[in-house]
Amino acid sequence: MGFDDYGGQLKHHVSAHPRVDRKTGELFAFAYSSEKPEVYLSVFDQKRQLLSSITIPVVCPRMLHDFQITEHYAIVPDLPAEMLPEKSIRENKFIVDYNKEGTTRYGIIDRYSQDPTSIKWFETSTHYVFHYANSWEETNENGETVVVVHGCKYDVIDIEISPDVEKQTLQDIKNGKETPSDLVRYNFNMTTSESSEEILIKGFGGEFPIVNQDFIGYQNRWVYMPYDDFSRTDDSREAMENRFFSCMMKYDLQEKKIVAQVPFGENCTTGEVFFQ
């Protein structure tokens, strides 16, 4: 374990979720800046050689936790969780502030491009996504390429740092400061520049969607997600330290239906899951 800059080729830090295309063996390293309105994407081949590196401008310094790839594209979210140090100091709040009226968009660019002006932007309704499930390309009835993105979307988030963060999250959901997540599908038409949003599951409180890693960037069927049924009523410290997500779900992205749901039982929970 330790820091790896790929022999000095990697010039920026890396977000929590780099992507590996197992069909090509390529690694995609993505990062955002807390100081500058830009994000970074570097691509390495299976021999650890740098193929491309690009800096892409965004609206302002933003916390952009995750990103996506497809067979031919990289997908850059530009979502309104804004890094505002002056406001944070002035109001004694966490540095990340969710702007409910902020520009929300996705940039799609050839995954080896080194020209930031070649990115195509698609604006959407205001929302935030911490974690995406998978993305791929489809061809519609008109022969147009449509980039499909799946993720757990929030209409409102309230990011705070506190010792009772889990209790606060439940209270925020109850009083409307934060909304339970939706499983969502976005469609971005690369020819017409049109986009659409489809809610697959409304307000189910799921997170960390994961797929078989062999299909990252390519069409797949199953996604697995822990979720919370918000049924717990015990607010004691012991209960807080022994909870996160209370159930597990398997969802069919092709048939657009829930296949299985597994409750873990009283005081049994899980956190982030992974499919190797």
Is 12 annotated as a binding-site member? no
Is 13 annotated as a binding-site member? no
Rg for the chain, CA atoms, rounded: 19
Instruction: Kindly state the helix (H) or strand (E) to which residue 258 belongs, with its residue range.
Output: strand 257-263
Cα–Cα distances in angstroms (integers) from residue 222 to residues 40, 131, 200, 225, in the given order: 30, 16, 13, 10
**Phi, psi angles (nearest 5°) of residue 124:** -135, 180
Token code pair at residue 104? 């929300």
Q: CA 63, CA 85: separation in Å to the nearest integer?
A: 13
Q: CA 146, CA 195: separation in Å to the nearest integer?
A: 9
Is 17 annotated as a binding-site member? yes
Q: CA 149, CA 186: separation in Å to the nearest integer?
A: 5
Binding-site sequence positions for Fe cation: 17, 65, 131
Binding-site sequence positions: 17, 65, 131
